[in-house]
Amino acid sequence: MAESPDWVSACLAEFRQRIARNALTEADSPVVVEDGENDNVSKSKDSSDIESGRRHIEIYFVQGRGKGQNPENLHTFGQPRPSVESRAGYRWRDTVYGFADILKQFWDRSVDGFRPDMRKHTAGDVVVALIDDGVDAYGSSVSANIIGGKSVAFDKGTNMLNPFYVSELGHGTVMAEAIKRVCPMVKIYPIRVNIDSSESGQSSVEARSVALAVETAINRNANIILIPWPVEVTKSSPQDKTLLEIMLSKAYNRNILLFLPSDRNEEFQSSLISRSDEAFRIGEARDDGGAAR
């Protein structure tokens, strides 16, 4: 995932201060510090800098976009794309983003052109139930796409539910932003579950927690159910694993699209959850598109 524009700006501001402290005070030839891989920009020192006798050094952020593509700088970085865009600038992702922009414009024009008596005949919203660590629903770029939510994540210390509208690790918010970027008209129903970490640092979710979340998504009439985290089955009871399989089968029978995580765990692979061809398999990937180890 890419760093946000605010983070990049903060780092550049700090670097500018360090450069300024070490800049020569005598007048000298124009010096430009450039940041970029495939594209360069430059700017000459203006007359005011020469007259003041200070050596002016400016730092520009330029992101290489590949052959035949325009570079991005701090004024364009992340706009209209959100911070979830990878800085690698993959062609396939740019194509999807471009299609989404065109689709959104077409949709807005179509909705504006509907007669009042036609609006009641339009189909309902596409609802994605995002089973994750919550979504920062207030003040984020996905606020307008959130249509409520629910939590099945209990705080073991207080024995109270953690709110669905706050992302514990930030993962749910990033996922929601990515979903919205591809489909701007989508409605997102976040369902928060507990995220557990093993001694090796691998994160997963409990089978029972996911089963309750899937049941919630079914009752909410979601069109798509997304589970981006591996499901921990080795520590789950047979009853919890059976409950999860029942809920996933129920969702499939309701014609709900299922996006389930892939996992190398042998017990997980031997379960109905993994063997089912009734779902789309998803997994973690590196920046170059290969499967993460």
Polymer length of the chain:
293
**Same domain for 185 and 234:** yes
**Which letter, b or e, does each residue of 243-264 get, where b requires 16 or more Cβ atoms within 10 Å of its Cβ?**
bbbebbeebeeeebbbbbbebe
Q: Which of 5-14, 43-52, 231-240 has the lowest mean pLDDT?
A: 43-52
CA-closest candidate to residue 283, choices 262, 257, 258? 262
Residues 164/135, Cβ–Cβ less than 8 Å: yes
Question: How does pLDDT run across 159-216, given as a tens digit for each residue?
Answer: 889 999 999 889 999 999 989 988 888 999 999 998 887 766 678 888 899 999 999 9
CATH of the domain at 197: 3.40.50.200
Counting residues of the chain whose pLDDT is more than 70, the rounded percentage is: 61
Give dist(CA 248, CA 255) in Å, integer.
Answer: 11
Assess whether pLDDT exceeds 90 at residue 5: no
Q: Phi, psi at residue 10, to the nearest 5°?
A: -65, -40
How crowded is residue 125: how many other Cβ atoms within 10 Å of its Cβ?
A: 12
Q: Residue by residue, what is the 3-state secondary structure of 124-144?
A: CCCEEEEEECCCCCCCCCCHH
Counting residues of the chain whose pLDDT is more than 90, the rounded percentage is: 26
Query: How much is the average pLDDT of 232-247?
Result: 85
Q: Which of 35-49, 143-157, 218-232, 245-259 has the lowest mean pLDDT?
A: 35-49
**Same domain for 260 and 145:** yes
Q: Which structural domain range is residue 169 located in?
A: 125-282
Q: Mention every residue, 6+ apart, whose C-beta is less than 8 A from residue 235.
A: 206
Q: Is the peptide bond before 80 cis (omega within 30 degrees of 0)?
A: yes
pTM: 0.62
Assess whether pLDDT exceeds 60 at residue 145: yes
Last residue of a domain, one of 66, 87, 108: 87
Question: How does pLDDT run across 92-138, given as a tens digit for each residue?
Answer: 677 778 888 888 888 788 777 776 666 666 668 899 999 999 999 88
**Same domain for 192 and 132:** yes
